[in-house]
Amino acid sequence: MFLKSAAVQFFSTPRYLVVVCVSALLLASTVSAGSLYRWVDDKGVTHFSAVPPPDAVADGGIEEERLPGQSSGVSNSYRSLEGIWWARSDNNISQYLQFRNGSFSTGEEYFQNQSIHRSTVASGPYRIDGSAIVLTYFTHTREPLKLDQRERLSILRQTDTELSVLLPQRPHPLVYQRLVKERSNTMSGRLYGHWRDSRHLQLRYVFDHGTFDVLAENASGPMRRLRSGNWRWEEPEMFLTYVLDLTAPVDGANPPKLHWQVSQGGTPNELAIKDMVSGETFTLARVR
Domains of the chain: 2-65 (no CATH), 78-178 (2.40.128.280), 186-286 (2.40.128.280)
pLDDT of residue 214: 93
Give residue 204's pLDDT. Answer: 94
In tens, the pLDDT along 131-165 reads: 899 999 999 988 888 888 999 999 999 999 999 99
Band (pLDDT 50/70/90 cuts) for residue 90 is low
pLDDT at 33 over 60: no
Lowest mean pLDDT of 58-67, 210-219, 221-230, name the range.
58-67
Nearest to 239 by CA among 224, 216, 215, 255: 255
State the pLDDT at residue 17. 42
d(CA 118, CA 162): 22
- Between CA 50 and CA 57, with CA 53 as vertex, the angle to 5 degrees is 105
pLDDT for the residue 281: 96
Q: What is the pLDDT of residue 91?
A: 67
Whole-number pLDDT of residue 171: 85
Q: How many CB atoms lie within 10 A of CB 147?
A: 13
Residue 29 has pLDDT above 70, yes or no: no
> Under a CB-based contact definition with an 8 Å cutoff, are residues 213 and 228 in contact?
yes
Question: In this structure, are residues 94 and 88 in contact, taking their beta carbons and an 8 Å threshold?
Answer: yes
In percent, the amount of the chain with pLDDT more than 90 equals 42
Average pLDDT taken over every residue of the chain: 76
In whole angstroms, what is the distance from residue 197 CA to residue 201 CA? Answer: 6
Query: Which of 61-65, 78-82, 235-239 has the largest mean confidence?
Result: 235-239
Indicate the pLDDT class of residue 16, thresholds 50, 70 and 90. very low
| pLDDT for the residue numbered 249 | 53
In the prediction, which pLDDT does 62 show?
33
- Would you state the pLDDT for residue 11? 44
34-67 residue pLDDT tens: 444 444 556 555 444 444 554 433 333 333 333 3
Structural contact between residues 94 and 108, judged by C-beta atoms closer than 8 angstroms: yes
Mean pLDDT value across residues 214-243: 88
List the one residue out of 207, 220, 230, 209 whose CA is nearest residue 287: 207
Q: What is the pLDDT of residue 161?
A: 93
pLDDT digits (tens, 9 = 90+) for 274-283: 999 989 999 9
